[in-house]
Amino acid sequence: MTWDRPSWPLGANKLNLNFTFAADLDLNAHRPQPKAIPKELKDALQEFDLTFPATWDEVKKIYKKLVKNHHPDKHGGAKEAEDKLKKINQAYATLKKFFK
Q: 75: domain CATH number?
A: 1.10.287.110
Number of domains in the chain: 1
Q: How far apart are the first and last CA of the chain?
A: 54
Give per-residue burial for 83-100: e unless 16+ CB within 10 Å, then b: ebbeebeebbebbeeeee
Determine, yes or no, domain membership for 21: no
Determine, yes or no, domain membership for 66: yes
Question: What's the burial of 50, exposed, middle or buried (CB within 10 Å: 0-12/13-18/19+)?
Answer: middle
Percent above pLDDT 90 for the chain: 28
Residue 88, domain extent:
37-99
Residue 61 pLDDT > 80, yes or no? yes
Residue 30 pLDDT > 70, yes or no? no
Determine, yes or no, domain membership for 76: yes
Overall pTM > 0.85: no
In one-letter notation, the amino acid at residue 89 is N
Determine, yes or no, domain membership for 45: yes
Sign of CA dihedral 57, 91, 49, 73: negative
In one-letter notation, the amino acid at residue 19 is F
pLDDT (0 to 100) of residue 80: 87
What is the arithmetic mean of pLDDT over 24-44?
69
pLDDT (0 to 100) of residue 19: 47
Quickly state the pLDDT bin for 15 (edges 50, 70, 90).
Answer: low
State the CB neighbour count (10 A cutoff) for residue 16. Answer: 4
Quickly state the pLDDT bin for 24 (edges 50, 70, 90).
Answer: low
For the chain, percent helix, then strand, then coil, each to nearest 5? 55, 0, 45
